[in-house]
Structure 1
């Protein structure tokens, strides 16, 4: 990569053809290098079953290429045309309550439907063959934001085939799903159905396997399209855009089938801390394939789907875009290029807003194009982290099931509880699945790992000298959501040096008073474990002596257990100690609200606040964005950014 890609979704089919040349001229003015074309164009490309209308797309691609703009060409399979649902209603999805959903929106398809797949792949094949040699084609973009779930009879048959492949026979299925409880034993395969509305709590083993199945069904759809595209264009990379921090598809699995990871992300302008979750999501995207990724969608200003949709304040577009680059993005793109006149997202902002080029948003779009050109040296470079956070999709699905000690336990909240103190300390983080080899890291943080298949990787990491921090409600069940025998948390009792007798979820107004010689007194809430130490050092405890933070030596390493949710200041003090003991070096100790990340040789600093801040920056640097020298200290204004490289000599 010799440059950073810059652009967005381009939907010329929404506009008269005479507008297209104006678009290309304005794209060049803004520094746009790349556009995604065709995401929602199925009805235009195939107006009736089997017909093809590629003429307009030929002209669009030729025009873009003549303007020096490359194309991420999309397969339009995420939004089937009305004729498919009208003629083949079995392709429409059925919800949890058994209602068949209609066409007239988007994403109206059943991933298991062979009819849907047949029509989708036929169009994809023709698209791939027609544009295989087009000089504008740079990348294939499959579908859009995979996340469809269906409960229909076609899905049921597919689910049963998937279960046969997983278990072989009904005896193994009945054992895995603990069907002896509530007389749920299955005697014939046809009795097995997807989870549907029932009088009371559904079987958790069934729900967990259905989550796995739904993810696999969507991966099947992606792989089928990818293989058609590769057969026609073996040298063109293929991606699909992940939909934020979505639970439906196991991102570790899907990313393994992509050539490059891409991501759609829409932080809330009204949330002054949204940059923390943005950093989490960007670190995850970088971690999925351990390298650069593409920010495929973001908003230039307001979105249209929250209850209230304020615009981004001046400067935030730049700060959020540079944040993505700092954390590994090799492309910064938007939905969409030109704001729509009609349709469901007409009030979703565009790079070219309704106000036209003489507008604040477009001026910021132009300025960002220049910034990304200045940041070209970081393209293709990596981000190094000494800390990994474990995020496991199977455990995420399982911890969200019904009939648990608390319905309030949200995995992403628990991840943020651990991630935010590290962010504040200037510590860069990778993400990893629970099965990963973690030996490259000094510190591994496990906010929650309710479901544990194999405790071996975490044990080996600590035994080999690593430092582990584990959060509450971890190590409870196996891969079938059956409780591990031997007392909580059975797979990790020796590692953590403790035994939990009961878990104690707290009410919304309950506050715990905790004492600690090293962390000082602090409050905590949400949860605590009624536990006793079995070899672990008690670092913090409740007034009655119940431990809430413990530290245990195991092999050559150390394992920490945090049995409650400490208040923010205590969490920071705890992680400050853990980071120091683990030998982790922060990139920089930034002031609150300032982000510090190193990508390659470039130190990125982003002020996400509204106030000017000053910070110390040891050494002599040059700011790639301004060309100015920086020595010893730096002032960042509101939403200010800097990209510093060591000064030569």
Structure 2
């Protein structure tokens, strides 16, 4: 297997290649020049070899419409190169400068209720504004021309967190662009009217100019209009990415182009499964969210990012050394969590680990956001932990360029189902698509089962067990694909509110779960959503919340795995499984949560002949992730607990972490990460 590095990092003083990237967003414009020399000294001390530069520097680079100031940036680029630090150079288009918004307020976004989003924060621009596009691309061209041959440049960074604050714009620019997008998608108004179901509520359109974004309306806006606007909004930002990328590739065809995704938490407006092919390598930002599944969510997001990258290495462009500034309560990380969080991303394929930001700001909205150099300075626990992480990443140089090794189990994550299942005017507003997917992932972690989080663009047939929670949008071709998967020996699990609509958000008629009804061998006439405070009992003491289904078994091959023991559907099937060709298809009709799923999954895993790769004492307490180059396997063992955990029976050459337990296994300290290198096969 050929190793594929992200980019060529500079050589170290001893001639060795620092194979893993390590660094941060660097914002020297926030500091006087005398600080810059100290910055690079500390960077070398910490093992930093990569920074992202000029992310929010438009106003500094271009102080006026015809005024340019590259002198400071030239100086910083030269300084970094002289100290062996590579640059991921941003196009600086993330936030327009005051002179531009003053001269052209028509670039400012508009909310669904018609309010203007004013300057004063960041990302105050319309993705479809031709005026903004003209000025942004002029800046990109100027940067590309000036730095195309600079030796520090190893990658281009388009904008920053595209769509973080401006994904949905309802302006007249957006309306015109939306209509053009719809013309391309549907071709003619009759096709659009059918797709949108405009016979309902007298919404039939007779002219393209009558169509608007789903602005504030008297009642529930047309659901397919809403779904298409979400598709369009993701595409509009993708087109901006492409526009900047075209200029960069023309000037520097050998310099890779990326942009930082935000695969984390509730960030759902950008369809990254669709965007991944637009970048030369995938990059992601991730911040830990508080709650009982916080580290599971980190793993889930890193796992999904690695699969968006197609198993190839990717770039963790931002995460935090400690507390952030934007949560209601911003908790500092505990001892060991800085390293564990970072290395868990590496376990799932990251070949560069970077933070926001290098030096903690003294002013501005993010001055309480942690950094590699905190307000306390280099004489601090945070900086010492940063420097230690730099040393550890140096020890992990042998695995750079390796790929993620596929698991036997996958969770199918689908952006369009996420969007559509949470629209208004549904059986319940309490449904949380991502939470249900995360619950399955947490349950697998608790059982010591390695799983991939994948999209339908991937190779689903490689997995023995495929879990598709709340797969709400199922076009006919996907239903055929899933049926073929099961008949060829795969084992499918899906859940409530799956298979319900096609790509136009039209109901599959004949009874739920619609497109998957025959494969599952069940029929549901009516949904049974639960009030927030209600729950139902199932066999074996299981408890369900959120949802129930009135299931009728329609095929003798369908086995009832559990029944409801309370509620309106007492005695009816709650969990089913149907043999399908060489495989099977199972259905879970209620939310069981991580603990309930961990009790249900063993039987489903056994049926698919899937076993944990971890020894018994480590299951549920240690996460296993594997990277490989074909000849060697790199086993990451991540202690999920605050106690020491023995991991007997796993052997290999230890690269980092853990204490050896004789010749057979190791002991992981609290929050520790160990990496073992072992031959494949």
The question of a shared fold, defined as TM-score above 0.5 by the shorter chain, is answered with yes
Separation of aligned partners in 2, 1:613 and 1:575: 27
Please state if 1:554 is matched with 2:575: no
Q: Would you say the 8 A contact 1:498–1:534 is kept in 2?
A: yes
Q: State the match for 1:614 in structure 2.
A: 645
Alignment of 1:273-312 (within 5 A): 273-290=293-310, 291-312=312-333
2:488 equivalent among 447, 452, 464: 464
Separation of aligned partners in 1, 2:474 and 2:651: 48
Unaligned runs of 5+ in 1: none
Q: State the match for 1:565 in structure 2.
A: 591
Separation of aligned partners in 2, 1:593 and 1:634: 14
Q: Would you say the 8 A contact 1:499–1:531 is kept in 2?
A: yes
Question: 1:91-127, CA deviations, whole angstroms, 9 ceiling, x for partnerless residues?
Answer: 0000111011111110000000000000000110110
Question: 1:545-603, CA deviations, whole angstroms, 9 ceiling, x for partnerless residues?
Answer: 21011010111111111111225443113222222221234331534343222222122
Please state if 1:526 is matched with 2:546: yes
Alignment of 1:383-402 (within 5 A): 383-384=404-405, 385-402=407-424
Give secondary structure in 2 for the equivalent of 1:165.
helix
Q: State the match for 2:670 in structure 1.
A: 638
Q: Would you say the 8 A contact 2:155–2:257 is kept in 1?
A: yes
1:502 equivalent among 526, 529, 544: 526
Distance verdict in 2 for CA 1:293–1:628, change over 3 Å: same
Unaligned runs of 5+ in 2: 6-16
Give secondary structure in 1 for the equivalent of 2:321.
coil
Separation of aligned partners in 2, 1:310 and 1:51: 43
Q: State the match for 1:228 in structure 2.
A: 247
Please state if 1:96 is matched with 2:112: yes
Q: State the match for 2:354 in structure 1.
A: 333
Q: State the match for 2:9 in structure 1.
A: none
Please state if 1:265 is matched with 2:265: no
Separation of aligned partners in 2, 1:313 and 1:569: 26
Q: State the match for 2:69 in structure 1.
A: 53
Separation of aligned partners in 2, 1:523 and 1:289: 37
Alignment of 1:152-171 (within 5 A): 152-171=171-190
Give secondary structure in 1 for the equivalent of 2:462.
coil
Distance verdict in 2 for CA 1:243–1:568, change over 3 Å: closer
2:228 equivalent among 209, 228, 234: 209
Separation of aligned partners in 2, 1:526 and 1:93: 36
Question: 1:300-321, CA deviations, whole angstroms, 9 ceiling, x for partnerless residues?
Answer: 1111111111211121101101
Q: State the match for 2:656 in structure 1.
A: 625
Give secondary structure in 1 for the equivalent of 2:114.
coil
The range that moved more, 454-463 or 367-376, is: 454-463
2:624 equivalent among 584, 596, 616: 596
Q: Would you say the 8 A contact 2:495–2:587 is kept in 1?
A: yes
Question: 1:467-511, CA deviations, whole angstroms, 9 ceiling, x for partnerless residues?
Answer: 101011001111111111221122111110100111111122222
1:619, distance to aligned residue in structure 2 (A)? 4.2
Separation of aligned partners in 2, 1:50 and 1:116: 16
Give secondary structure in 2 for the equivalent of 1:123.
helix
Q: Would you say the 8 A contact 1:272–1:609 is kept in 2?
A: no
Separation of aligned partners in 2, 1:22 and 1:104: 31
Alignment of 1:4-43 (within 5 A): 4-43=20-59
Q: Would you say the 8 A contact 2:461–2:485 is kept in 1?
A: yes
Q: Would you say the 8 A contact 1:587–1:598 is kept in 2?
A: no
Q: State the match for 2:11 in structure 1.
A: none
1:156, distance to aligned residue in structure 2 (A)? 0.4
Distance verdict in 2 for CA 1:229–1:130, change over 3 Å: same
Q: Would you say the 8 A contact 1:395–1:449 is kept in 2?
A: yes
Separation of aligned partners in 1, 2:545 and 2:622: 27
Q: State the match for 2:103 in structure 1.
A: 87
1:433 equivalent among 455, 467, 476: 455
Q: Would you say the 8 A contact 2:439–2:593 is kept in 1?
A: no
Separation of aligned partners in 2, 1:550 and 1:486: 19
1:336, distance to aligned residue in structure 2 (A)? 0.2
1:253 equivalent among 254, 257, 274: 274
Q: Would you say the 8 A contact 2:634–2:677 is kept in 1?
A: yes
Give secondary structure in 2 for the equivalent of 1:198.
coil
Distance verdict in 2 for CA 1:626–1:316, change over 3 Å: closer
Aligned residues: 642
Question: 1:61-117, CA deviations, whole angstroms, 9 ceiling, x for partnerless residues?
Answer: 100000000010011111111111110011000011101111111000000000000
Give the alignment's TM-score, normalised by structure 2.
Answer: 0.92
Alignment of 1:464-503 (within 5 A): 464-503=488-527
Provide the alpha-carbon RMSD of the alignment: 1.6
Q: Would you say the 8 A contact 1:496–1:552 is kept in 2?
A: yes
1:436, distance to aligned residue in structure 2 (A)? 4.4
